[in-house]
Amino acid sequence: MRSLFDPTQVGDLQLANRIVMAPLTRNRAPDAIPTPLMAEYYTQRASAGLLITEATAISHQGQGYSDVPGLYGTEQLDGWKRVTEAVHDAGGKIVVQLWHVGRVSHNELQPDGGQPVAPSAITAKTKTVLIKNGVPTFVDTSAPRALDAEELPGLVHTYQAAARNAVETAGFDGVEIHAANGYLLDQFLKSGSNQRTDDYGGSIKNRARLLLEVVRTVTTAVGGGRTGIRLSPVTPANDAYDADPQPLFDYVIQKLATLNLAYIHIIEGATGGPRELPDRPFDYSALKATYRTAGGKAAWMVNNGYDKALAEQAVADGTDLVAFGKPFIANPDLVERLRRNAPLNKPDPATFYGGGAKGYTDYQTLS
């Protein structure tokens, strides 16, 4: 019988188990540079079959929150290399999540104080985080400008360069393209944020164009077997909305089936919230079936609100990987705790964003 603790092959990666540490933004990278403390944090959790880093900006323009890491400078890549070396020394596997926030940003975080960019000039009804004097503060996002079509090839190239730097320079085992949670690629996908009238707006095919261009160029850079993608069909996070998500994501998943990816990472329901949204029904089993019917062979990863019992049932039903988020914050040895049915530490929400070791690397393990 399939188990959470089975070793498994995911693309080019051999994983020790099916348990994945989901990406978790922690805002502890001043100047977008990963720190030795971050290396300790990830290494503590290296018993997961796969670690997915916190979302990491592919460019200065792609940054949307204070003190999140980047992949666009030498010091940032050097910092990440210290992280990947430490994780590999501990026997772990780690991929980096490639992030462009699009309109979910603030002028203070943008190059020269400019406007955030988006598919259309529609302000997101959401908050971002600014950290001043060590204190995180939630503030409204700034009004964005619409990207010109002439800018999009350069944006695609930026994703490619970030992926190549991540694997070849920083030593990551692969990359995850962040196309979820109302950030840039998700903004292009969804009708609520994309009101363009050119080849990147309107029809499902056009709204999916940028995402598919990014995936193709990233797989060219690092290989499909080292590339995953994260999707969130119905989450309302960051003011994300589509009027008819099932046919949209059926189209996207059919196209992804041809690209020989390592894994498909699906957020079920509202990110960090309810798994079922009565006002936004979605058939995740049908989505997976559509992918398999189209020839897709990537590992299928599920995420959102999973405990051990739910995860075990998902694996028994054919899911390949289960991502755990908040439980990994307070339980660096989550894999062992799940194996032993041991109680879990409770995380301290006051230390989620920003700060130092407290609430980051000081949680107790079973030993």
Q: What is the DSSP letter of 292?
A: H
Active site residue 72: no
Give the Cβ contact number of residue 126 at 10 Å: 16
DSSP notation for 101-117: -TTS--GGGSGGG---E
Distance of CA 149 to the CA centre of its chain: 25
DSSP assignment letter at 340: H
Structure tokens at 156: 């695609």
Sort strands 127-132 and 135-140 into parallel, antiparallel or unpaired. Answer: antiparallel
CA 127 to chain centre: 18
Give the angle 267-269-271 at the CA atoms, nearest 5°.
Answer: 60
Residue 277 DSSP label: -
Q: Which residues pair with 59 in a beta bridge?
A: none
Q: Which residues, at least 6 apart from 331, have a Cβ–Cβ distance to it below 8 Å? A: 337, 344, 345, 363, 365
Task: State how far the Cα of 116 lies from the Cα of 101, in Å rounded to an integer.
Answer: 9
- The torsion angle over the Cα atoms of residues 23, 240, 235 and 113, rounded to 10 degrees, is 20
Question: What is the Cα–Cα distance from 6 to 115, expressed in whole angstroms?
Answer: 47
Opening angle at CA 161, ends 96 and 84, nearest 5: 30
Amino acid at 319: T
Rounded Cα distance between 189 and 202, Å, is 10
Q: Which one-letter DSSP state was computed for residue 70?
A: B
Q: Which amino acid is at 55?
A: A
| Helices 36-44 + 74-89 axis angle, to 10 | 30
The active-site residue out of 42, 65, 159, 183 is 183
Active site residues: 183
